[in-house]
């Protein structure tokens, strides 16, 4: 029976985190080679919170395919090592995933290695040690045993020499890491009445239960929806992040179902290779290296081999006439109201603009696709070489750009540069569910940086969800299928259910032609600010930031270091009640510089001169110590003996570790950048999907409103009617003016840049994101070089109080100086209005002042 899961452990921890937030320890962040994403940070926080008072040692991370579960595993291994665990068993159903994960955890030369080259825990170098049994385990290593589920089952069931047995788990604390853990539930799906047989799930659980301190950490994108399985996991799901949430947060490609006119495979062959070349050249145009990969999918292994041979013959006889006819036909079909992707139209226009003829396209395709650039993964020959190629498809040295497969890539394939899946068979309507799941696994986002679209901060996120731009091709996975309406409709429904496609309901807001062609639109600017991570810029720390780091480290209480062999914890307990002067002041400059330098000299240390000089104004590490560290005062235990150099070194390391935590916390924090001008021409057509449309759609004929349609609620529409009723008054003051409706334009996002409020208190909403409803942009009479920008937010009374900070932020804009363009030819004056509400007296009064030009004072 299928049931809906009730409240889980994850739900409870999410609530608890709101009232008890925490930092990810530096020993985790400093030893990972990849930066943690927001949801991964949340997952780890919920785990760390649960470990404070653990009531279960069996936990499940229910996370979407492609969301970086393996990085979470690496972080958990670091934390478990810190807690005293040394032995880890990683097991999974698929051998291909097993080999891929070995590379992630063990091959420090691989681009996908997840740890820093040198792992430092408690100032000690820790190595990864791959083991086959516990005899090979070492206390100073993270010892990992890799096994398939079936292999682990066989090993534990049939005791063999030099292999692990169930008895080995009795006196050993082990962490079990189970990937694709839905395969673990073979027994749990069985009816309770059915006699339990000794299968692999029971054997593995026996090993886990041998020691109460053992940890079972499961990872799966899918939990079978059976009552016994859901009941089993209700108190174990520590974090849940499904495919829909992952996709909606922008971490995967958009999906485009491309249906061809006929059933001929040649059309799909040609369409996929043209898009492959187009994406590569489009990326190169924006200084992005991309070698797109195509997956050609068959139902049978024999058919896959035939399709590979047919593809090579097709490429060999391909000519420019065929390409020209295809592009002309499909460019016209794809350029219409309903097809926003317009991939073939954009490809044709790109080739024309770059003077790339059909003959040149043909030559390029023939050079890119040959027997050396094709891999058929159904071959069982040289599996190791095949796995290496599959795990490095993004590499410049990897020649593969076309893969022929049946089912081998259904799990554990984490390629980022897959942009086309081509379904080569026809019929088999029931395959739609399987194909939808394959698309979900293949839609991992290809990261790239564009300065005008979020820069480094949006490297791993989609950038063009609301922008109708050819660059969408770099964020879109195309699924090529024959003309089979029933299959395509069924597949589309499956993708909508998975959350990979928005509901079909959508509207396109198009920029009015007259406005787009006007000189004002082409020449005008608007101003916004931006958010950046402090670690992402090359600027030195501000003086206030350095003072903050020092103040947070100052008066640090140092635990009692070794004293004549007495165990420090016992001594502290004895002394806690006997001494009123438990801690004494100690100036850090009493420790010799050479000892502090020695404490700094650890692998991966932030205390290298190169790292420090990026944020501190220094010419040497000695200057850093004298200028900053010697300002520290610390607290030593009243019985602490400090005449021993080893004790001084321990104290120095303890202080440096804490200083580092505060230093890294500042690096991980965000700063609001200065206001900058952007051309109004960045604002273009927008598409809107789903629930947003429920608030209302109407065509807008107001000549000052830049779009042909309006989507919004009644209050927002009332505001537009208010402007229309006052347009003559506005035109008396402004020679040119427009109203922009902000529909999730990334270019129109603002951030509250007030660190302190007018009363001197710290602003808790500093760096908070704000997407205003409307922008007014205009030139006052005889002021062509000055743009007057006014920001308006329509706000219902039921949420007015929560968003009060936004209104205060808008009012604060009146105090700002004009924003000047780099060539000093254009100024933008910032204005903000009180909320537009049902009770509008305050807004109308301020609106009148605005029209009379009494807002801005020189």
DSSP string covering 161-184, please?
TTS--GGGGTT--EEEEESSGGGG
What pLDDT was estimated at residue 607? 92
Same domain, 836 and 710: yes
Closest-CA residue to 256 (of 467, 419, 67, 66): 419
What pLDDT was estimated at residue 504? 64
Q: CA 307, 309, 311: angle at the middle one, nearest 5?
A: 65
CB contact set of 44 (below 8 Å; sequence gap of 6+): 24, 28, 36, 72, 75, 76, 79
Closest-CA residue to 76 (of 100, 60, 94): 60
Same domain, 720 and 613: no
Q: Is residue 625 within 8 Å of 557, Cβ to Cβ?
A: no
All residue ranges of the chain with pLDDT < 50 are 1-3, 191-198, 337-338, 563-579, 856-858
Same domain, 200 and 284: no
Residue 413 maps to a domain: yes
Same domain, 378 and 283: yes
What pLDDT was estimated at residue 700? 84
Rounded to 10 deg, the angle between the 543-553 and 645-668 helix axes is: 130
Residue 2 maps to a domain: no
What pLDDT was estimated at residue 2? 45
CB contact set of 102 (below 8 Å; sequence gap of 6+): 130, 146
Query: 402 has which bridge partners?
Result: 294, 374
Same domain, 525 and 558: no
Rounded to whole angstroms, how far apart are CA atoms 260 and 400? 26
Q: CATH number of the domain that 363 lies in? A: 3.40.50.300
Rounded to whole angstroms, how far apart are CA atoms 816 and 834? 17
Could you say which DSSP state residue 406 is in? S
Residue 506 maps to a domain: no
Q: Is residue 686 within 8 Å of 841, Cβ to Cβ?
A: no
570 token code pair:
């016992």
Rounded to whole angstroms, how far apart are CA atoms 281 and 277? 6
Q: Which backbone phi and psi does 90 adopt, to 5 degrees?
A: -100, 125
State the CB neighbour count (10 A cutoff) for residue 674: 9
Pairing state of beta strands 786-792 and 827-832?
Answer: parallel
Stretch (H or E) spanning 731: helix 727-733
Residue 36 maps to a domain: yes
What pLDDT was estimated at residue 1? 42
Same domain, 735 and 590: no
Rounded to whole angstroms, how far apart are CA atoms 71 and 80? 14
Q: Report H helices in 369-453.
A: 383-390, 432-442
CB contact set of 11 (below 8 Å; sequence gap of 6+): none
Residue 666 maps to a domain: no
Q: Which backbone phi and psi does 509 adopt, to 5 degrees?
A: -95, 115
| Number of domains present in the structure of the chain | 4
Rounded to whole angstroms, how far apart are CA atoms 507 and 709? 9
Q: Report H helices in 200-319.
A: 200-208, 227-233, 243-248, 265-285, 301-317
Residue 665 maps to a domain: no
Rounded to whole angstroms, how far apart are CA atoms 45 and 363? 53
Residue 228's domain comprises: 9-241
DSSP per position, 743-787: SS-GGG-EE---SB-TTS-B-TTTT-EE--SEEEEEEETT-TTEE
CB contact set of 326 (below 8 Å; sequence gap of 6+): 267, 270, 271, 274
Residue 508 maps to a domain: no
Q: CA 3, 5, 8: angle at the middle one, nearest 5?
A: 165
Rounded to whole angstroms, how far apart are CA atoms 841 and 844? 5
Same domain, 814 and 743: yes
Q: Which of 654, 682, 698 is the last residue of a domain?
A: 654
Same domain, 539 and 525: no
Same domain, 521 and 544: no
What pLDDT was estimated at residue 116? 94
Same domain, 231 and 94: yes
What pLDDT was estimated at residue 351? 96
Give Cα 95 to chain centroid, integer Å.
Answer: 27
Q: Is residue 435 within 8 Å of 482, Cβ to Cβ?
A: no
Q: Is residue 272 within 8 Å of 473, Cβ to Cβ?
A: no
What pLDDT was estimated at residue 825? 83
Q: Which of 654, 686, 717 is the last residue of a domain?
A: 654
Give Cα 588 to chain centroid, integer Å.
Answer: 40
Q: Is residue 336 within 8 Å of 288, Cβ to Cβ?
A: no
pLDDT in tens, 253-299: 999 988 888 788 999 999 999 999 999 999 999 999 999 999 999 98
Q: Which of 624, 654, 684 is the last residue of a domain?
A: 654
CB contact set of 776 (below 8 Å; sequence gap of 6+): 737, 738, 739, 740, 788, 789, 790, 791, 792, 831
Length of the chain in terms of residues written: 858
What pLDDT was estimated at residue 409? 65
Q: Is residue 609 within 8 Å of 620, Cβ to Cβ?
A: yes
Q: Is residue 14 within 8 Å of 46, Cβ to Cβ?
A: yes
Same domain, 348 and 235: no
Cα→Cα distances 536→28, 458, 553, Å: 20, 12, 24
CB hemisphere CA count around 678 (13 angstroms): 19
What pLDDT was estimated at residue 691? 53
Same domain, 568 and 491: no
Residue 662 maps to a domain: no
């Amino acid at each position: 029976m299928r049931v809906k899961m009730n409240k889980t452990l994850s739900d409870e921890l999410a609530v608890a985190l709101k009232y008890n937030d925490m930092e990810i320890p530096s020993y985790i962040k400093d030893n990972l080679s990849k930066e943690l994403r927001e949801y991964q940070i949340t997952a780890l926080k919920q785990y760390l919170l649960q470990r404070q008072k653990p009531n279960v040692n069996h936990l499940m991370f229910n996370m979407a395919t492609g969301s970086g579960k393996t990085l979470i595993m690496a972080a958990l291994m670091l934390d478990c090592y810190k807690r005293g665990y040394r032995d880890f068993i990683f097991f999974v159903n698929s051998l291909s995933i097993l080999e891929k994960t070995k590379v992630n955890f063990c091959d420090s030369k691989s681009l996908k290695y997840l740890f820093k080259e040198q792992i430092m825990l408690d100032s000690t170098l820790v190595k990864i040690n791959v083991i086959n049994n516990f005899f090979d385990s070492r206390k100073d290593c993270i010892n990992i045993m890799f096994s398939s589920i079936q292999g682990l089952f066989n090993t534990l069931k049939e005791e063999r020499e030099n292999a692990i047995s169930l008895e080995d788990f009795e006196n050993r604390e082990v962490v079990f890491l189970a990937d694709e853990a839905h395969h673990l539930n073979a027994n749990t799906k069985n009816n309770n009445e059915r006699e339990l047989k000794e299968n692999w799930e029971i054997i593995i659980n026996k090993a886990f239960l041998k020691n109460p301190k053992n940890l079972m950490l499961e990872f799966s994108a899918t939990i079978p929806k059976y009552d016994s399985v859901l009941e089993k996991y209700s108190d174990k799901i520590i974090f849940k992040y499904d495919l829909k949430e992952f996709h909606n947060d922008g971490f995967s490609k958009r999906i485009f179902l491309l249906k061809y006119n006929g059933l001929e495979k040649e059309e799909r062959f040609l369409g996929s290779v043209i898009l492959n070349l187009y994406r590569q050249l489009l990326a190169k145009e924006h200084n992005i290296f991309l070698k797109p990969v195509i997956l050609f999918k068959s139902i049978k292994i024999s058919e896959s081999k035939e399709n590979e041979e047919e593809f090579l013959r097709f490429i060999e006889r391909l000519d420019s006439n065929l390409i020209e006819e295809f592009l002309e036909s499909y460019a016209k079909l794809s350029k219409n109201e309903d097809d926003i992707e317009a991939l073939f139209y954009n490809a044709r226009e790109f080739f024309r603009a770059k003077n790339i003829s059909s003959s040149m396209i043909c030559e390029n395709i023939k050079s890119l696709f040959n027997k050396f650039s094709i891999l058929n993964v159904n071959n069982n020959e040289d599996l190791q070489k095949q796995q290496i190629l599959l795990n490095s498809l993004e590499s410049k040295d990897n020649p593969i750009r076309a893969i022929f497969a049946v089912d081998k890539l259904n799990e554990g394939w984490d390629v980022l540069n897959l942009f086309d899946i081509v379904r080569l068979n026809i019929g088999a309507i029931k395959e739609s569910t399987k194909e939808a799941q394959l698309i979900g696994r293949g839609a991992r986002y290809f990261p790239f940086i564009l300065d005008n679209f979020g820069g480094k901060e949006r490297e791993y996120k989609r950038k063009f969800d609301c922008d109708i731009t050819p660059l969408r091709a770099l964020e879109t996975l195309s699924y090529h299928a024959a003309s089979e309406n029933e299959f395509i409709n069924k597949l589309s429904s499956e993708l909508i259910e998975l959350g990979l496609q928005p509901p079909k309901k959508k509207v396109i807001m198009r920029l009015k032609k007259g406005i787009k062609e006007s000189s004002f639109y082409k020449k005008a600017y608007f101003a916004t600010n931006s958010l950046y991570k402090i670690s992402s810029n090359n600027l030195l720390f501000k003086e206030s930031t350095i003072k903050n780091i020092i103040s947070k480290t100052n008066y640090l209480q140092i635990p009692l270091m070794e004293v004549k062999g007495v165990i420090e914890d016992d001594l502290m307990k004895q002394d806690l009640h006997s001494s009123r002067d438990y801690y004494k002041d100690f100036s850090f400059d009493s420790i010799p510089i050479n000892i502090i330098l020695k404490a700094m000299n650890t692998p991966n240390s932030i205390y290298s001169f190169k790292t420090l000089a990026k944020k501190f104004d220094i010419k040497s590490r000695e200057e850093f110590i004298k200028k900053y560290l010697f300002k520290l005062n610390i607290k030593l235990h009243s019985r602490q003996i400090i005449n021993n150099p080893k004790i001084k070194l321990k104290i120095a390391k303890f202080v440096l570790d804490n200083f580092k935590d505060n230093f890294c916390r500042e690096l991980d924090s965000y700063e609001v950048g200065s206001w900058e001008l952007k051309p109004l021409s960045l604002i273009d057509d927008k598409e809107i999907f789903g629930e947003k449309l429920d608030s209302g759609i109407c065509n807008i004929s107001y000549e000052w409103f830049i779009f042909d349609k309006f989507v919004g609620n009644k209050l927002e529409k009332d505001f537009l009617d208010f402007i229309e009723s006052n347009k003559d008054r506005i035109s008396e003051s402004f020679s040119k003016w427009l109203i922009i409706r902000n529909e999730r334009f990334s270019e129109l996002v603002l951030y509250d840049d007030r660190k302190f409020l007018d009363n001197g208190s710290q602003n808790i909403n500093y760096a908070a994101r704000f997407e205003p409803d409307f922008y007014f942009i205009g030139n006052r009479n005889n002021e062509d070089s000055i743009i007057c920008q006014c920001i308006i937010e329509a706000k219902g009374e039921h949420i007015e109080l929560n968003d009060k900070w936004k209104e205060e932020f808008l009012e604060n804009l009146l105090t700002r100086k004009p924003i000047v363009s780099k060539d000093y030819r254009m100024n933008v004056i910032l204005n903000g209005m009180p909320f537009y509400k049902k009770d509008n007296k305050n807004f109308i009064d301020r609106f009148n002042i605005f029209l009379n030009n009494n807002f801005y004072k020189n």
